[in-house]
Amino acid sequence: MGKSGSIFGFPETVNEVAARTVAGGVVLMAVGFCATGNRLLLGLLCYGFLARVTSGPKFSPLGRFATKIIAPRMSRFSRIVPGKPKRFAQGIGAVFTSAALILAGLGFLQASVVLIAILAFFASMEAVLAFCVGCQLFALLMKVGVLNSDYCRECADISLHSLSR
């Protein structure tokens, strides 16, 4: 993982193995929540996304596990990718899980299950296929000019990166 400048920074680069491991953990927790309605799982899922979007893996138990235990053991599969699209994807996860937590708190458990099921689908695409939907959305927003391409020059054409494997 590339270093960030402060305690509340996101890494400039991300190990794809770690990102996919985190996505796999998200899938497991999301499916667990959808199957049981356990709000503690939903709270942990939400905390993880908020921690990762603000600080990368520093305060996320799942992020620490992925970067400190799994990724080093899978180093031959390592692929370093830009961090900004991954942070954007974590932000989408934070929005989905925060909304689901609020809905569950207001008594709309089914609506929160639907949001988390959608999240589980997208996380499974990252975990299994290494296809980050949030990263693709990030690239699209750059392409149409919503995000300035100077913001992340190496990811300005991230769609080619994901297809070139």
What's residue 153's pLDDT? 66
Rounded to whole angstroms, the Cα distance separating 154 from 38 reads: 40
pLDDT above 60 for 98: yes
Which pLDDT score, from 0 to 100, does residue 50 have?
97
Give the model's confidence band at 6: pLDDT under 50 very low, under 70 low, under 90 confident, else very high.
low
**Where exactly are the structural domains of the chain?**
13-130
CB atoms within 10 A of CB 33: 27
Higher pLDDT, 107 or 75: 107
The model's pTM = 0.86
Look-up of token digits 């993982």: 1
> What six digits make up the tokens of 164?
């070139």
pLDDT digits (tens, 9 = 90+) for 102-140: 999 999 999 999 999 999 999 999 999 999 999 999 989
- Residue scoring higher pLDDT (149 or 140): 140
The percentage of the chain sitting over the pLDDT mark of 90, rounded to a whole number, equals 73
Q: Are the CB atoms for 165 and 62 separated by under 8 Å?
A: no
Q: pLDDT at position 64, please?
A: 95
Query: Mean pLDDT across the stretch 63-72?
Result: 94
> In whole numbers, what is the pLDDT of the chain averaged over residues?
89
Q: Supply the DSSP symbol for 13.
A: E
pLDDT at 10: 85
Q: Are 80 and 127 in contact (CB under 8 A)?
A: no
- Helices and strands (H, E) in the chain, number of each type: 8, 2
More confident residue, 21 or 78: 21
Residue 72 in tokens: 């080093």
pLDDT above 70: residue 100 = yes
**pLDDT class of 165 with cuts at 50, 70, 90:** very low
